[in-house]
Structure 1
């Protein structure tokens, strides 16, 4: 009888252990709540739970420069970065100078996102060159990629951040809030980011985007300051918060889902496949995924694709 009880206990412990393995939670590193990455991470986590039964959760940090090294060292399963920042991190240049994150791998492009400087609606600043001498956020020590965004945008008007009155900010969320509070004259706002919409609702007259300059010289300057970035033309539409001018030129960058080399092929394959097959569900969870193009998840970047993602892309013909 004692042997039977011991055997039963052993079976129960084995089942419990198996259940613990089954219930592993995969965390997705994002920027702060209210940011675009946070909303994207929440949407993907929701869809993964609903479609696969696996446990995913959002893990917000002060900025991507904080959580990317955690992905590299295997302390975080997934995260987000624009194409330029991913390249910087992998190669150990730019904002990651001397600290190559060679274990980073790409899952695929989630969406392309547009960003430009925004100013209060009644601001006298109309063009990028007008921002010379303005109070502008600088530093971005917890989200360093926005330092490069800032210089890329300013470069279209022949400026750098050194031409402004620099106001140190830890990240772009703080910068947007500072603009809403009148502490800076302009701030970079990613298209339809939650914190941008909140600022629009709380500021007396709201805010508007400044159109960047579009020329061969401006395009070259943008690419030089933020690799993989390009200039895109946007038209006013009720779905595009802050877009007033026709056209409004903005910086466009592909935003990738990142993972680490040590994350299992099966886990990455499942995430890639689930994203590819569920655009509608992703868009219902977060409207920005209406811009998600499943057939264009593979784009050129110095960071290699994870073998689990490669396996799926070969099945659908995106990688030969």
Structure 2
């Protein structure tokens, strides 16, 4: 069953026995994947690592990666127990986009933390690009990050808000998120979809072009409907935090970021890591305010990826879990089972040149038969 989560090889690290008054016991070293060096999740991981080192003597080894699949693959393969990832985990869980391939399919991942916050997902645009709303994107140069279906889908969804398509802009291929930010600073592109906080956005703020942030007015129901046709996991959020500051609160997009995920079925490892994140949140949030959303009462627990049962235990003990969240999780686990059964039926056809199209059709048929929303076709 898809609910049986693969053991991470890193869980084999001998527990160092670093116990504290909080009764947290963790390995002496824990590795995590994160974004590019300087990216939001990388910087957050560094702040978290300092807090865990001081509290428990744990060394958090942070591995920066160039694209979403590079974050997830080592965790899937059992080489690293956790990823501090982004909304790409939604695509991975569903087996769509770049994950609709013979090497991937719907992923048996679970959430440890789905971080809320006072920042948001939006387009950061160069201050001299003449862009004030999404309608102004027509004819502009925007990056197309190769191998990142989430960033590509974000671009497509945000353009749809204004009734635009990819044909209305000039796509400039980029190898990574960090390269796309550099390209905006250097004048090669005019904007980049991103979280409004983080070191690389700060870098753009300090660059020669400056930055502005695009709003997605919450009363534009047609725009939001078009956007959600592409990315159904987008929620409304009012941001008060952004690199360089905001003149006023910004109506924009909320998705959990980062999303700490695991494939591990080592209950003790996941339980203790989750507990450590919760117990030290005030410490690392003082060093990096963007991490405040790791607190149990600020997380987006009703999102589209199920929490790990050990993490749920921690949140229940903290008084942040409810019967309604149990029901939500059961629905997601049932969805995971349907996707897993559909994927198993593709075993003999994964060498097909039309595999992606065939899988997406089988996926849609299975979800429809189970009375579940399809989201992607």
Is the pair's TM-score, using the shorter chain for normalization, greater than 0.5?
Answer: yes
1:141 to 120, 140, 146: 146
Q: What's 1:12 paired with? A: none
The alpha-carbon distance between structure 1 residues 319 and 143, as it changes in their structure 2 partners (threshold 3 A), is same
1:30–1:63 contact (8 Å) kept in structure 2 = no
**Alpha-carbon distance in 1 for matches of 2:239, 2:309:** 36
Q: Return structure 1 stretches of 4+ with deviation > 6 angstroms.
A: none
Q: What's 1:232 paired with? A: 237
Q: Alpha-carbon deviation of 1:132?
A: 0.7
Structure 1 SS opposite 2:50: helix
Q: Alpha-carbon deviation of 1:137?
A: 0.7
Q: What's 2:47 paired with? A: 43
2:113–2:294 contact (8 Å) kept in structure 1 = no
**Alpha-carbon distance in 1 for matches of 2:244, 2:164:** 23
1:232–1:251 contact (8 Å) kept in structure 2 = yes
Q: Alpha-carbon deviation of 1:102?
A: 3.2
Q: In proportion to residue count, which structure has more strand?
A: 1
1:208-231 alpha-carbon deviations (Å, 9 max, x no partner)? 112234311222233332232123
1:196 to 188, 195, 201: 201
Q: What's 1:114 paired with? A: 120
Q: Alpha-carbon deviation of 1:193?
A: 1.3
Q: TM-score, normalised to structure 2's length?
A: 0.72
Q: What's 1:10 paired with? A: none
**Alpha-carbon distance in 2 for matches of 1:110, 1:291:** 5
1:84-128 alpha-carbon deviations (Å, 9 max, x no partner)? x22210221133113225331111223344122222223322221
**Alpha-carbon distance in 1 for matches of 2:33, 2:111:** 14
Mark the structure with the bigger radius of gyration.
1
**Structure 1 residues without counterparts, runs of 5 or longer:** 1-17
Which deviates the most, 161-170 or 289-298?
289-298
Structure 1 SS opposite 2:206: helix
Q: TM-score, normalised to structure 1's length?
A: 0.83
The alpha-carbon distance between structure 1 residues 133 and 245, as it changes in their structure 2 partners (threshold 3 A), is farther
1:162-210 alpha-carbon deviations (Å, 9 max, x no partner)? 210110012222111101101112222321210111121122x511112
2:98–2:147 contact (8 Å) kept in structure 1 = no
**Aligned residue pair count:** 296
2:250 to 248, 251, 260: 248
Q: What's 1:300 paired with? A: 302
State how 1:282-301 maps to structure 2 within 5 Å: 282-297=284-299, 299-301=301-303
Q: Alpha-carbon deviation of 1:149?
A: 1.5
